[in-house]
Chains A and B, each alone.
Chain A
């Protein structure tokens, strides 16, 4: 049972890993940079935008099959 779950998880990561990585990792980084920067102070929903940008980068990487 555990083996099946693990294999399904690996399959999902193979297919969607780049998207999740973009969303969570790059989204968190962009959000932290935006919070530290005065430039984005007055931008509404900056957290949503930061994570959306991360997710978009991940999605593009998934579709291209490579980050760079």
Chain B
């Protein structure tokens, strides 16, 4: 009880929020550049490959890299981290959010609303749309589910949240986009079968598997429900810029409006708060967050 009072006064949520706010205001230009850049590079691969300026295998490699970079810029848009609450800039969230996801063949609105529910109900078996990824039996099952599309089979959440009109409307707004993607993919498959396979479908699968493993599986593996318990710090052999810096995903769940590239500094500043809250692994956070190995748990 005394300990709780101590947390409330010295490391209160209000103080935590005030610190987090300092890292939640910067314009996320890097992420816009990555999102718009990868999608533009990906689009340019088509004329280059079809006209013989680039081999199909080189195109496949580049398209797969683009697909791995595609989700995160959309994720920032989903949280409104480009408009930063300015209604006049919401078009920027929508533009980046939609455009960057072309590579992954996903409708932005569906991912946006389901991601908001993931934040609201993290690790809830009934209501968290990402629950099956984070709580799959093994890494193999995560990869299998992501590859065959089950990890993003979000249709059932239309029933789960049928009374949430905003959710249902936004979800339904994404369906024609999904249909357009599917129709375009099939049309291109008839016209340019091998190019469609190696420039779009297979890279999208690789990007989806990559994103699901590093975004959903590792950060939520073995975690439970609750603000300071639903995500974890973890370490990985990869330099963190190769795995989307998802070892820092914990701080994203605490304060989703912190810009992705500001998360390391935010973690350094919030470290005492996390230790006070007894977040597993928080005492292992280095004073200065480096590229790798970052945090050992």
Contact = CB atoms under 8 A, between A and B. Distances in A.
Contacts of A9: 179
B31 interface: no
B193 A28 contact: yes
B147 A68 contact: yes
A28 B197 CA distance: 10
B150 A29 contact: no
Contact of B194 (A25, A33, A68): A33
A26 B153 CA distance: 21
A67 interface: yes
Contacts of A4: none
* Majority SS at the chain B contact face: helix
Q: Among A17, A25, A29, A67, find the residue whose CB has the most chain B CB atoms closer than 10 A.
A: A25
A32 B194 contact: yes
Interface residues of A, number: 19
Measured as residues with beta carbon below 8 angstroms from the partner, the interface class of chain B is 10 to 19
A29 B144 contact: no
A66 B189 contact: no
B147 A29 contact: no
B185 A10 contact: no
B190 A24 contact: yes
Interface in B107-152: 144, 147-150
Contacts of A48: none
Contact of A67 (B149, B176, B196, B197): B149
B201 interface: yes
A14 interface: yes
A68 B193 contact: no
Nearest to A54: B189
Contact of A32 (B149, B155, B176, B193): B193
Interface of A: 6, 9-10, 13-14, 17, 20-21, 24-25, 28-29, 31-33, 36, 66-68
7 contacts: A6-B176, A10-B175, A10-B179, A25-B185, A25-B189, A28-B196, A33-B194
Closest 9 CB pairs of A and B: A32-B193, A68-B148, A67-B148, A28-B193, A28-B189, A25-B189, A24-B186, A29-B193, A32-B194
Interface of B: 144, 147-150, 155, 175-176, 179, 182, 185-186, 189-190, 193-194, 196-197, 201
